[in-house]
Amino acid sequence: EVRLVESGGRLVKPGGSLRLSCAASGFSFSSYSMNWVRQAPGKGLEWVSYISSSSSYIHYGDSVRGRFTISRDNDKNSLNLQMNSLRVEDTGVYYCATPGPDNWNDLGYWGQGTLVTVSS
């Protein structure tokens, strides 16, 4: 069974930093790309970042580029998101997601999310 478990969300002040993690199990983690998607309270989904299976390709959304850094450790089956210079508008639930089982592209598996609150 594919399992994605996010952690690291908490209350942080504007300008602060936070590191989110996603522990993966039940599939060949090193073969799959990974994504972070977030959702502000009561709002829609916003894609945040992508990393390819070998970390060769990385992409960011415009609102986080230069502040967030995605990384992965294929030996530990883990995905990370280092979030710096946090803003109030970064508040929301952060999901990690990966393709499968039908194709290599669309987000077929999601974690349950971790809540990040940026507030003074």
Partner 1 sequence: EIVLTQSPPTLSLSPGERATLSCRASQSVSNYLAWYQQKPGQAPRLLIYDASNRATDIPARFSGSGSGTEFTLTISSLAPEDFAVYYCQQRSDWPLTFGGGTKVEIK
50 sits near partner 1 (criterion: CB under 8 A): yes
Q: Which has the closest alpha carbon to 55: 33, 39, 40, 88?
A: 33
66 sits near partner 1 (criterion: CB under 8 A): no
Other C-beta atoms within 10 Å of 106: how many? 10
Closer residue to partner 1 in complex, CB, 29/95: 95
94 sits near partner 1 (criterion: CB under 8 A): no
Closer residue to partner 1 in complex, CB, 1/62: 62
The residue within the footprint of partner 1, chosen from 1, 56, 62, 66 (CB under 8 A), is 62
- Please state the φ and ψ torsions of residue 22, each to the nearest 5 degrees: -135, 115
Q: Which single residue is written with the structure tokens 């940026």?
A: 118
Helix, strand, or coil (residue 90): helix
Judged by the rule CB under 8 A, the positions of this chain that interact with partner 1 are 35, 37, 44-47, 50, 59-62, 95, 97, 101-103, 105-108, 110-113
